[in-house]
Amino acid sequence: MGKLVTGDDGFPAEEVGPWAQEKQDLLCRYVDISRGARAKFIGQGKAGATYIDLFCGPGRSRVKTTGAFIDGSCVAAWRKSVEGKAPFSRMFIADADEERLGAATKRLQALGAPVAPIPGEAVDTVIAVLKRLEPAALHFAFIDPYSLSALDFSIFKALSRRKRMDMLVHLSKMDLQRNLEENIGSAVPAFNRFAPGWRDVIDQDQAQRAIRTEIIDHWRDLVSGLGTEASTEMKLVKNSGGQHLYWLLLVAKHELAHKFWKTASNPEKQGDLF
């Protein structure tokens, strides 16, 4: 979590690395490419299309290296949905930090977004959001935690209870690499929250790279057990020095959503699925 600074609109903004723009671009590409599917659920008498962001941040960021201000995820997603003439019918945003949540709420309200803020930790707010979701609606969740330990598997258990739930997920490769040895030696490792039961299925007496691969594979198996699938298309985001930071991937039940993500995660390729 970056430090807060005063934004160019007077509300708090968060300092981020330049790679944050790539993440927002990928998010917006998915929102745009899926606009046709979303439009089918929007309108009078229809169930609606919702956006969910459990780690929303303040909705505005300042890039450390340039000083430039960019939209945060929830604001960027709303703008892109409006631009594509298929705006989300409800925006559920949440954050454990009420100052960040308040800033994001004000920014979305200023843009006319139908925002519903919920303060608290993601493991709690996901339940509050779930209770307010229309079962027949189309739902899209951006799950962008501050660390791998915050990516509690109960979040996926809750969200997957909705039939039409697509989740774009941030998996921290840096955390997986940096904290592996500590988690192996800990009685209550953070990985237990991310991938429950990993100790029982993984050979810990092997190279760390192999252990990391098996942890991710185990997490994929857990996701499959919920009746949904984690995409094999994993977009690796690096910092300006080439260090691997995290993957973005999609968790969804419908094959079309995975096709959308395959296109969105490969912006260098021509063609789309509009």
Determine, yes or no, domain membership for 130.
Answer: yes
Mean pLDDT over residues 46-75, rounded? 97
> Is residue 102 a part of any domain in this protein?
yes
Report the number of distinct structural domains present in the chain.
1
Q: What pLDDT does residue 241 have?
A: 85
In a domain, 272, yes or no: no
Q: Reply yes or no on whether the pLDDT at 2 is more than 80.
A: no
Tell me if 196 is assigned to some domain: no
**Residue 184 in this model has a pLDDT that exceeds 80:** no
Residue 247 lies in a domain: yes
Q: What does pLDDT average to over the chain?
A: 91
Average pLDDT rounded to a whole number, residues 149-163 = 95
What is the model's pLDDT at position 273? 36
Radius of gyration of the chain (CA): 18
Q: Is the pLDDT of residue 188 over 80?
A: no
Give tens-digit pLDDT for 232-246. Answer: 899 999 888 888 899
Residue 211 lies in a domain: no
Residue range 126-136, pLDDT digits in tens: 999 999 999 99
The whole-number pLDDT of residue 148 equals 85
The domain in which residue 50 lies consists of 4-178+229-264
Per the domain annotation, does 210 fall within a domain?
no
Instruction: Look at residue 211 in the predicted model and tell me its pLDDT.
Output: 85
CATH number at residue 160: 3.40.50.150
Would you say residue 205 lies in a domain? no
pLDDT value at 272 more than 60: no
Q: Is the pLDDT of residue 1 over 90?
A: no
Kindly state the average pLDDT of the residues 55-71. Answer: 96
